[in-house]
Amino acid sequence: MTAGGRAASFVRDGEGGGSWGNRGSPTFADVVSSAVIRRAAMVKMVVIAALAALVATLVAVLIRWLPESASEEMDRITFVYWFATIICIGIFALVAAVIIEAVWAFRVQPDDDTDGPPIHGNTRLEIAWTIVPAILVIAIGVVSAVVLSKNADAGSNPLHVKVFAQQFAWRFEYPGKVMSDELVMPLHRNVKFEMQSADVIHSLWIPQMGQKQDVVPGITTEIVITPTRTGTFTLICTELCGLGHAVMRAQAFVLSAADYEKWIAAEKAKAAATGSAAGKTLFTQQCGSCHRLADAGTQGEVGPDLDKVLAGKDADFIHESIVNPNAEIAPGFQPNVMPSTFGESLTDAQLQSLVDYLVKTAGKS
C-alpha cells in the first residue's frame, strides 16, 4: 500500500485498503468520523493550542510594547490594542494547533509521490470560519470607532492651545496670546490643540499620550489630550518634514491645575512686559518724530499730540488710526500727512504691541 499508512486511515472500516480511485473522494464527514481526528488528536491539539497561547501571551505581556500611559486617550487606545491582541492570541493558538497536528499526523514517507486525497468541503465549517472572523473584525471595528469618537471629544470646557509647526520647531499659543516654545498642560483637563503649519506637513505626537495628528499647511487640524499624570514628556514630530525632522521636538510638561495657573500667570506677565517694551521701542522709532507722547518722551509736532487725541480711545480706534490714518483727522490737521502704509510695513505682532502700548499709555501720564 504505497499511498502510505496515513492515507489508509481515511478509509472507513470495511471498505478495504487501496487507492482513493476505487471509491470516490471522501467527504469531510468521512474524515471527521474516521480515526484521523481521534480523541487523542483532539487532546494533542488542545495541548498545542494552550502552549501556543501561553507563548504568545508571554510575548505580549513580558515585552513592554507601549509606553506607560499618561492620558485618558492613551488608556483607550491601549484597551483597543489588548482587545485585538487577545483575539489574535486565540486565533494564533487555534491555527498553530491545527497546523502542527496536521503536519505531524498527515506527513508522508520521503518516497511517496502520490496525490493527497481530494477532500470535499464542509458547509457548516465554512459558514463558521466566515461568520466568526466577520464578527471579530466587526467587534474590533466597533470598539475602535467608539474609542476614536471618545478621543476626539473635547468636552464642554477644554483648554484651547494653538499649535504652530514649521521646519523645524513647535510654538504654542495659550488663551490671552501667551506664546511658548514648551507645551504645558494642566492635569485632568481636556486640552484641545488647533494646529497649523507654516510650510510642510508635520505631525504631533507625545508617545505616552497616544494621540497623533498631522499638521497640514492650509488647514487647521485638531487633537484632544487629557493628561492623567504629571511629568515631563517629549513632543515629537512624526512626519518626515525635511533635514531637521529628527530634531523637531519640544518639551511637554503636565502640571497640577494650581501649578499650571501659576505658570500661565507668569508667562502672561512676561509677555506683557516684553510686549510693552517692544511697543515703546517701536513707537519711539516709528512714530516719535511726528507725535508727542509723554510716556515715550517724544516731542514730534507734525501729527496730533497722542496724549490728547488718544485719551480714552479703545484698541480698535488706535489700530484703525495707524493702518488707515485718514479715517478720522484730528482737528487742525490735514489728511494724507501720515503715511497710510503702516498696515503693510509693520508685522501683525508689531502692530499689536504698538496698539497695546498706546492703549496703556496715551493720556495716562
Residues at the interface with ligand CUA (CB under 6 A): 168, 202, 237, 239-241, 245, 248
Tell me the one-letter amino acid at 306.
L
Residue type for 226, please?
T
Tell me the DSSP string of 234-247.
EEEE-S--STTGGG
Q: How far is CA 69 from the centre of its chain?
A: 14
CB of 106 to ligand CUA, least distance (A): 53
3-class DSSP state of 203 = strand
Nine-digit cell string for 250: 519640544
Hey, what's the cell of 16? 478495504
> Closest distance between ligand CUA and the C-beta of residue 219, in Å?
16
Q: How far is the CB of 234 from ligand CUA (least distance, A)?
A: 14
Residue 21 or 218 having the CB closest to ligand CUA: 218
- CA 178, chain centre distance (Å): 24
Compare residues 200 and 330 and give the one whose CB is closer to ligand CUA. Answer: 200
Phi, psi of 214 (to 5 degrees): -70, 150
Of residues 70 and 237, the one with the C-beta less far from ligand CUA: 237
Q: Which is nearer to ligand CUA, 167 or 228 (CB)?
A: 167
Q: C-alpha cell of 31? A: 474524515
Q: Is 4 left (phi over 0), alpha (psi -120 to 50) or beta?
A: left
The minimum distance between CB 272 and ligand CUA, in angstroms, equals 31
We find the least distance from the C-beta atom of residue 339 to ligand CUA, in angstroms, to be 39
Q: Which is nearer to ligand CUA, 202 or 292 (CB)?
A: 202
